[in-house]
Amino acid sequence: MSYFPRWSPTTSGEVAPDQRLPWWQTLVMGIQHVVAMFGATALAPILMGFDPNTAIFFSGIGTLIFFVLTGGRLPSYLGSSFVFIAVVIGATGYGGSGPNPSIPVALGGIIAAGALYTIIGLVVHAAGTGWVERLMPPVVTGAIVAAIGLNLAPIAVKDVSGGGFDSIVGLVTIAAVALVAVRGRGWPRRLPILIGAVVGYGLYLAGANGFGLSKAIDFSGVAAAPWFGLPTFVAPVFQPAAIGLIAPVAIILVAENLGHVKALAAMTGRNFDPLIGRAFIADGLATMLSASGGGTGVTTYAENMGVMAVTRIYSTLVFVVAALVALLLGFSPKFGALILTLPAPVIGGLALVVFGLIAATGGRIWVLNKVDFAKARNLITVAVALTAGAGDLTLHLGGFTLGGIGTATFGAILLYHLLGGAPAEAEDPPI
């Protein structure tokens, strides 16, 4: 068997990973995947104070790395990961608006997370995934994911609760996202974040620049930026405290990516288990490369999985096209400057929805896997993890600092296994 598949042409019905559409249709599908990932991939770096142009550029690079290392057999797009947001903000003390002056410190921590992720991938490739699934069963992964969303909540609420016109813009942005996601029809329903951003941006532009209701949007940076140029690259700085805070995110990425690969297997009817280790390695290496140049950590994207579920087109060549389109966008500083004009209340409205969805996804994991909360072991594990994450429980361990996401992650894993083997009569909840 050759390393890459021999993509056979097809023109109708479900398109398998090792099949391809006519080239013009492949181009259109690739552009659609860029649109699907764009809202989240641009929003995540903005929330951390990174350059979104650089993040989009490295998302394209990361996707090509993923394509090569998985032998072109696993359809996925790598975009900006939201699980880094809380720990990056904690490590840098970022205020939530404008460029983050401590990006180099965050990059060092993200590289450490990518390195840990890569090591886990090597172990999985050699030993299989059974140990990962035993270490982090659904009750644990759901608790970790929910804790991430709750930990991020104060950041979003701050930008929406200021009062006056800004609060109205934030609430309208939330309403627009919700209406498109629930009531939308056809392709717009796949783009609620992007459409919500456009609605909020338009309202703010009219009120602030037109009627002076808030601080006007400054377009001088957009006018000065060239149409074509290199992304803004930043070199990492390695600090033990930031590494200790950010590196544990690798555990969450493992759980997230594992779930995505399993979902793709269910959609395509194929067994992708032999590729899981390589998928982890590819994601880890892509994260390290991205952070080496000023980009965010990356992960496989549920948004693009949604597009595949709707279209039933799984050809991996589509993602090569999507990656190349993202690279082209990364070479336009004017495009990046326009993204950076997004007003704070619009960002806050989008963040409130996105962070809430992250928390709700934890609950979805429990429901889909029929987690039994009549068992005290499950109930206490989740209770402690959610409280640690929401309250941002921070532990100082020598020269390392473990923030709320880290304590929730390791706390859930350790507590679940420490409580294993309880007698049957102790299985009822204590309340």
Q: What is the pLDDT of residues 357-385, one digit of tens each?
A: 777 877 877 887 889 999 999 999 999 99
Whether residue 257 is contained in a domain is answered as yes
Query: How many angstroms separate the Cα of 252 from the Cα of each of 42, 117, 277, 346, 414?
Result: 21, 10, 15, 28, 14
pLDDT at 105 > cutoff 90: yes
List phi, psi (to 5°) of 290. Answer: -60, -50
Tokens describing residue 340: 């950076």
Whether residue 270 is contained in a domain is answered as yes
- Rounded CA gap, 154 and 31, in Å? 34
Whether residue 317 is contained in a domain is answered as yes
Whether residue 11 is contained in a domain is answered as no
Whether residue 9 is contained in a domain is answered as no
Whether residue 3 is contained in a domain is answered as no
Smallest CA-to-CA distance from 341 within 158, 199, 201 is with 201
- Mean pLDDT, residues 51-64 taken together: 92
- In the prediction, which pLDDT does 424 show? 47
* Sequential DSSP letters for 118-149: HHHHHHHHHH-SHHHHHHS-HHHHHHHHHHHH
- In the prediction, which pLDDT does 360 show? 80
Domain interval for residue 366? 16-424
List phi, psi (to 5°) of 9. Answer: -75, 145
Count Cα atoms within 13 angstroms, Cβ side, for 104.
7
Describe the crossing of helices 249-268 and 103-127 by its angle, rounded to 10 degrees.
50
Are the CB atoms for 327 and 208 separated by under 8 Å?
no
The 10 Å Cβ neighbour count of residue 268 is 18
Tokens describing residue 164: 């006056």
* Sequential DSSP letters for 248-273: THHHHHHHHHHHHHHHHHHHHT---G
Tokens describing residue 47: 């929330």
Q: Average pLDDT of the chain?
A: 84
pLDDT at 423 > cutoff 60: no
pLDDT at 293 > cutoff 70: yes
Whether residue 288 is contained in a domain is answered as yes
- Mean pLDDT, residues 258-273 taken together: 79
- The model's confidence at residue 40, banded by pLDDT at 50, 70 and 90, is confident
Range with the poorest average pLDDT among 195-209, 238-252, 395-409: 395-409
- The model's confidence at residue 431, banded by pLDDT at 50, 70 and 90, is low
Whether residue 1 is contained in a domain is answered as no
Residue pLDDT, tens place only, 312-325 = 788 999 999 999 98
Tokens describing residue 356: 């809430």
pLDDT at 299 > cutoff 80: yes
- Rounded CA gap, 336 and 409, in Å? 34
**Domains: count for the chain:** 1
